[in-house]
Amino acid sequence: MRLVPMWCALVLLAACGEMKSSDDAGNTGGGTAATGGGTATTGGGTSGTGGGGGTAALDAGLGIGNLCSYSYSAFNASPSVNATSTVAWSCTLTARSIAANGLPDHEVGVFPNNDCPNTIHPYLVAASVPLVPVNTGTATSAMVVGYAYNGVKFDPGTAGSCSTSTSTTTCSLAGNTGTWNIEALGQSSFNFGVDSSNAHVQPTGEYHYHGMPEAAVTRLGRGAAMTLVGYAADGFPIYARYGYSTPTDARSAVKAMTGSYRLKSTPDTGRPSTTTYPMGAFRQDYEYAAGSGDLDECNGRTGVTPEFPLGTYHYYITDTYPFIQRCVKGTATGGGTMMPPGDGGMMMGQQGCMIGQTSMCCGDGTCDGPETHADCPADCP
């Protein structure tokens, strides 16, 4: 299987749910050992090994030991998983790497369900991000923005969209070919079948988070405290919900972070009817309003964290839009592969590239790029 740049591997879209139509300055700083380990998942198994200060060659004072030595392998007896979840994080002098099978280490909802007719399957996650990321100050769009510590991807966008023609609106939760991009969360016009961790399953079997990964956060057991839940594609850390009220003061009170996006006061021209699809149904319904919340346009800010007491740029998953950030501020220089490469344009229920599959060109004719029936098995073992 050939390697592709991580940024290419991270351009993935989700597609689950029902369809409707209608007529109408960021250098890393100090740190402690990683949060990790914990108890075994639902249904027994052995607990993971966590934390660690990284490798002996690395300067622990840079805070780069976090998740530099974390591994987990245990059986998840949640009926929709019923398999072993595995993940391992490691570091070199320049990169932080993850190897996982994409299966969550916590209880999940029922899949398939009426609004997400897909079954969870393992898949290969093998990617690297910069160990010492640099904040470029420029926001770069991303759909899949990184990985949770358990190997599950953060994938906030969807493959759903609507198009309008005269007085007719046509919507599809697959293909992403329309003008108006459907949001997975924060709206009631479309049902994507997410579970209590704001996650669901792509047609290829990939369980992924669209918002706050509640069960993963609970499993870490930090309560109302800053909780590191993973790393973004540019190498900066991602935290869940809580941050210091004063970004530069670790002694300040902890509070729930809010994004700086708001619904537009007036719908964009050509938007489908707000009577049928109330504001918030589409990505285009939101606008960034600097200073209206705690965070920047990428749901991040610079400040101190438990793992980086000297300060670093970092992201937050919030209970408000955009939930998980849609852009990154650093540069993704790492490389890696991930199978399958995404489900944009795939129909619901269509089989994707799964570990062990050696035929059908991984269901949609692509795996790491355009394929033929002759070379697909070699690229999708």
Tell me how far CA of residue 80 lies from CA of 120, 121, 293, in angstroms. Answer: 7, 9, 37
* Residue-level pLDDT at 58: 31
* Residue 340 to residue 208: CA distance in whole angstroms: 13
Higher pLDDT, 45 or 177: 177
Contact 124, 338 (CB under 8 A): yes
* CB contact set of 165 (below 8 Å; sequence gap of 6+): none
Give the number of other CB atoms < 10 A from CB of residue 177: 12
Residue 237 has pLDDT above 90, yes or no: yes
**What is the arithmetic mean of pLDDT over 118-131?**
94
Report, as an integer, the average pLDDT of 145-161: 95
Predicted pLDDT of residue 260? 98
Peptide bond into 130 cis (omega under 30): no
User: What was the pLDDT predicted at 334?
Assistant: 40
pLDDT level of residue 181 (50, 70, 90 thresholds): very high
pLDDT tens-place string over residues 50-94: 433 333 333 333 333 488 989 999 999 999 999 999 999 999 999
Query: Could you tell me the sign of the dihedral formed by the alpha carbons of 176, 196, 214, 219, in that order?
Result: negative
> What gap in Å lies between CA 137 and CA 73, rounded to an integer?
37
Residue 370 or residue 194, greater confidence: 194
> Which pLDDT score, from 0 to 100, does residue 166 have?
80
Percent of the chain with pLDDT over 90: 64
Stretch 146-164: mean pLDDT: 95
- CA 305 – CA 222 distance, rounded (Å): 14
3-state secondary structure the chain: CCCEEHHHHCCCCECCCCCCEEECCCCCCCCCCCCCCCCCCCCCCCCCECCCCCCCCCCHHHCCCCCCEEEEEEEECCCCCCEEEEEEEEECCCEEEEEECCCCCCCCCCCCECCECCCCCCCCEEEEEECCCCCCCCCEECCCCEEECCCCEECCCECCEEEEECCEEEEECCCCCCCEEECCCCCCCCCCCCCCCCEEECCCCCEEECCCCHHHHHHHCCCCCCCEEEEECCCCEEEECEEECCCCCCCCCEEECCCCEEECCCCCCCCCCCCCCCCCCEHHHEEECCCCCCCCCCCEEEECCCCCCCCEEEEEECCCCCCCCCEECCCCCCEEEECCCCCCCCCCCCCCCCCCCCCHHHCCCECCCECCCCCHHHHCC
* pLDDT, position 165: 87
pLDDT band for position 167 (50/70/90)?
confident
| 128 compared with 366, residue with greater pLDDT | 128
pTM of the model: 0.76
User: Which are the contacts of 348, defined by CB distance < 8 A and separation ≥ 6?
Assistant: 15, 16, 17, 117, 118, 173, 174, 203
pLDDT of residue 272 exceeding 80: yes
Q: Which two tokens stand for residue 192?
A: 């994507």
Q: What is the pLDDT of residue 8?
A: 34
Between 36 and 308, the more confident residue is: 308
Give the per-residue pLDDT at 25: 35
Find the range with the poorest average confidence among 100-114, 259-273, 333-347.
333-347
Mean pLDDT computed over 304-313: 95
d(CA 302, CA 163): 38
pLDDT of residue 125: 95
What is residue 16's predicted lDDT score, i.e. its pLDDT?
53
Per-residue model confidence as pLDDT tens digits over 250-259: 999 999 999 9
And the tokens for 66? 């976090």
pLDDT bucket at 332, cuts 50 / 70 / 90: low
Specify the length of the chain in residues: 381
Specify the pLDDT at position 331. Answer: 84
Alpha carbon distances (Å) from 89 to 71, 202, 244, 312, 337: 6, 24, 27, 20, 15
Q: pLDDT value at position 107?
A: 98
For residues 147-165, give the mean pLDDT: 94
Distance CA 94, CA 7 (A): 17
Mean pLDDT value across residues 217-221:
92
Q: Is the pLDDT of residue 372 over 90?
A: no
pLDDT level of residue 175 (50, 70, 90 thresholds): confident
Q: Tell me what the pLDDT averaged over the chain comes to.
A: 77
